[in-house]
Amino acid sequence: MIDLSVEIAGIRFKNPVLGASGTFGYGLEFAELIDLNRLGGFCTKGLSIEPLPGNAPPRIVETHGGMLNSIGLQNIGARAFVQEKLPLLRRYDTHVIANVFGFSPDEYLEVIRVLEDSEGVAAYELNISCPNVKKGGMEIGNDPVEAARLTEAVKRLARRPVIVKLSPHVRSIAEIARAVEAAGADALSVINTILGMSVDIYKRRPRLGATMGGLSGPAIKPLAVRMVFEAARAVQIPIIGVGGIATAQDALEFIIAGATAIQVGTANYYDPAATIKIIDGLHAYCDEQKIEQIRPLIGSLEV
């Protein structure tokens, strides 16, 4: 029997495949399409203290090998998540990671406070890297001092493991990874989307309502692999790789480069069963390679 299980911050995941925040709803949307129990886990849409309507449309544009989004962190708010979604999610045997967001450090803490009182959340993923909001997200994520300060404050409050999701918009991914690790982060997610733009040449207008948005999908995979590799060499804590993963081969690239687990984002849109196919593909690879456990593959890259 092949063992795909991995461990992050004391949590055992039955396999390293997770749904990425913002592309997996609150998980329940996918329960109608796939067997959620098969997943290692998933990250919820970013939760803020108050519900948010998000940005004006159009909010999604297809690009070569990817897409641009400017959803603007639309969500039902942390309290509604706890009341309406969590009780239903507790039925499933998979880890729910709450993706947390605020417009100020205090707002992050408020969201954590709301979630702390409830059962069914395995860990927090702090989004300090969203390119789609004017303040909060990327300003903290770009600055190692700010990122460390927020991580420290959240760690003081949270009973659960804290995963910090890094932005690719940094001078050095190793520097920010080290700063956040020193502040007590239990793991890192690497990376969020990259700020991009697309122009309608006939209307001479931006294709996105918000002018710019986050680029995701296969187009960003090589950048994400490089950043996972650099972050994994810089810190001791586990890295969760994310960016353009659509197949088991993609997932394996990240794992071999240093990721303990991976998240699948944009691929869910064109193939809602992508996560399940990746899990099956990891089994097939281990079988073919005569590997009994996935763990020794983590960071096994030879350079």
Ligand X SMILES: Cc1cc2nc3c(=O)[nH]c(=O)nc-3n(C[C@H](O)[C@H](O)[C@H](O)COP(=O)(O)O)c2cc1C
To ligand X, the closest distance from the beta carbon of 216 in angstroms equals 3
Rounded to whole angstroms, the Cα distance separating 256 from 251 reads 9
Rounded to whole angstroms, the Cα distance separating 118 from 165 reads 22
Q: Buried b / exposed e across 198-231, counting CB within 10 Å, b at 16+?
A: beeeeeeebbbbbeebbbbbbbbbeebbbbbbbb
To ligand X, the closest distance from the beta carbon of 204 in angstroms equals 26
Stretch that binds ligand X, among 21-29, 141-149, 176-184, 201-209 (CB under 6 A): 21-29
Q: Which is nearer to ligand X, 208 or 234 (CB)?
A: 208
Binding letters toward ligand X, positions 77-106, x by CB under 6 A: ----------------------x-------
Q: In the set 8, 138, 220, 278, which binds ligand X (CB under 6 A)?
A: 220
Residues between 123 and 162 that touch ligand X (CB under 6 A): 127, 130
Stretch that binds ligand X, among 33-41, 106-114, 155-163, 216-224 (CB under 6 A): 216-224
Rounded to whole angstroms, the Cα distance separating 28 from 7 reads 24
Query: Annotated catalytic, 43?
Result: no
Burial of 26 (0-12, 13-18, 19+ CB in 10 A): buried
User: Do the strands 95-100 and 41-43 form a parallel or antiparallel pair, or are they unpaired?
Assistant: parallel
Rounded to whole angstroms, the Cα distance separating 218 from 244 reads 4
The answer to whether 2 and 287 have CB atoms below 8 angstroms apart is yes
Q: In the set 245, 274, 294, 297, which binds ligand X (CB under 6 A)?
A: 245
To ligand X, the closest distance from the beta carbon of 290 in angstroms equals 29
Handedness of CA 106, 51, 127, 26 (dihedral sign): positive
Provide the token pair at 175.
Answer: 């520097």
Count residues near ligand X (CB under 6 A). 25
Residues between 25 and 64 that touch ligand X (CB under 6 A): 45-46
To ligand X, the closest distance from the beta carbon of 130 in angstroms equals 6
Catalytic residue selected from 49, 130, 242, 252: 130
Q: In the set 48, 151, 167, 193, which binds ligand X (CB under 6 A)?
A: 193
Residues between 261 and 290 that touch ligand X (CB under 6 A): 264-266
Q: Is 71 in the site for ligand X (CB under 6 A)?
A: yes
Rounded to whole angstroms, the Cα distance separating 187 from 99 reads 13
Query: Of 191, 252, 188, 236, nearest to 216 (Cα)?
Result: 191
Name the residues annotated as catalytic: 130
Q: Enumerate binding residues for ligand X (CB under 6 A).
A: 20-23, 45-46, 69, 71, 73, 99, 127, 130, 165, 192-193, 216-217, 220, 242-245, 264-266
